[in-house]
Amino acid sequence: MAVANSSPDAPKGTQAITRALDVLECFIDRNDLGITDLARESGLSASTVHRIVRALLARGYLEQDSANERYHLGRSAVVLGQAGRRKLGVDHALPILRRFSRETGESVNLGLLDHSHVVVALRVVSPQPLRFDQPVGSRIPVHCSSMGKALLAFDAPNGPTVLSELSLDGLTPNSITSVELLRTELDQVRRQGFSLDAEESILGVSCIGAPILDGTGRAVAAIAIQAPTARMTSNREELLQGRIIEVAAEIAQELHVDDAGITPTLPSRSQG
């Protein structure tokens, strides 16, 4: 859910931009919304939303379904998103994630840190009927996410200055809601090299994460495997913990991660 975050301290003239972003962010989790939905999700009035939607339609960032008059992201938004992913360079990790997903039969994600949330940048969906899926662009609170814990533990950029900045809301009875408990958990993640989400964000779903490290040992991204808890037996979890560390290291090598960030290693002309 997007919430209007316009601030009275914002620079003059930015309110319209902020409101347009509030509307666009409503489509992160859903891609079929009407004016009433957008007003409720963004916290803006229906008349304001209508004006913004007309402008976004004109520039191709939204499109309207003529059958039901609801809206979805348009071609301009798709092109912009693809350009952003190319700039980050993470697309080159996709073949490795696909192979890992085929190997395990589970969903696999790659995420980046954005202060108090992890943003899903890449996803590979499990072929199994019972599966867990986080669409690209999904935002997950860091303290309830295996990727988030891996990123925090290994000092990823764009994170909180101190853990007390985080709002440790409990999404399930298993969520960590104490700064001290989170700090203890992150110490353990640093020691073992992987992180766990034991039904902390969604009941019935368990995840294992690992950081993608640069040459200084700092995380630039993280990956996670997600599965129904019923399939994540203790023996299987133990095997996957070591395997996901290997996969994260392989991605770091493929992306040529160093202390300057992510620089994709592209194939030479002789390799085709």
Residues in contact with 148: Cβ distance below 8 Å, sequence separation at least 6, in sequence order:
111, 113, 117, 118, 140, 141, 142, 209, 222
Q: Residue-wise pLDDT tens for the chain (272 aa)?
A: 444 444 444 444 688 888 998 998 888 767 789 999 999 989 999 999 999 999 999 988 899 988 888 998 887 776 776 666 665 567 788 999 999 999 999 999 999 998 889 988 899 999 888 887 777 878 889 999 999 999 999 999 888 889 998 999 999 999 999 999 999 999 999 999 999 999 999 999 999 999 999 988 999 999 999 999 999 999 999 999 999 999 999 999 888 766 555 544 433 333 33
115 lies in the same domain as 220: yes
Instruction: Look at residues 30, 52, 79 and tell me which one is the last residue of a structural domain.
Output: 79
The verdict on 140 and 52 lying in the same domain is: no
Both 65 and 121 in one domain: the answer is no
- 28 with 142, same domain: the answer is no
Structural domain contains residue 3 = no
Q: Does the residue 48 lie in any domain?
A: yes
For residue 10, is it within any domain? Answer: no
Same domain as 121, residue 72: no
Give the pLDDT of residue 4: 44
Pair (48, 151) in one structural domain: no
- Number of domains observed in the structure of the chain: 2
Let me know whether 123 and 220 are in one domain: yes
> Quick check: is 259 in a domain?
no
Q: What CATH number should be reported for the domain holding residue 213?
A: 3.30.450.40
Same domain, 163 and 46: no
Does residue 1 lie within any of the structural domains? no
Asked if 194 and 74 sit in the same domain, the reply is no
Q: 176 and 237 share a domain?
A: yes
Last residue of a domain, one of 44, 79, 114: 79
Residues 104 and 172 in one domain: yes
Domain that holds residue 22: 15-79
Q: Does residue 123 fall inside a structural domain?
A: yes
User: Do 149 and 184 belong to one domain?
Assistant: yes
